[in-house]
Amino acid sequence: DMQRLFWMGVCAFGGAFMLWNIDNIFCTGLRTIRNALPAVVGPFFQLHAYWHIGTALGCYLSIVYQQYLRLVKLGTVDEYRLRWLAMGIIPYLDKDIKQKA
């Protein structure tokens, strides 16, 4: 689970950085494409927006990874469960109630 968290964070940042650079390099061409497409499709070519989404996701994944790592180092990781929302994209740590019994 820790490796998955780590690599998902790296990929989120890396993918976001790649999209941002594509947007910077091909800005004029992308703007032309956006203007030629229907208004409902245009936002999908706003690669800068995907950069914001990707870096936000990467930051969140990094924070959960660091929380998980701290639990491992403290030896209390067995008291928590790593759970996933949104089709396995959004992780969170949940206190394992069964451990109290």
Q: 19 pLDDT exceeds 80?
A: yes
C-alpha span between 34 and 50 (Å, rounded)? 15
Q: Answer whether residue 52 shows pLDDT above 80.
A: yes
Assign 39 a pLDDT band (cuts: 50, 70, 90).
confident
Give the mean pLDDT of 88-100: 83
Amino acid at 79: E
pLDDT at 100: 55
Mean pLDDT of 55-73: 96
pLDDT over 90 (residue 101): no
> What's the pLDDT band for 82 if we cut at 50, 70, 90?
very high
Write down the pTM of the prediction.
0.84
DSSP string, 4-57: HHHHHHHHHHHHHHHHHHHHHHTHHHHHHHHHHS-TTTGGGG-HHHHHHHHHHH
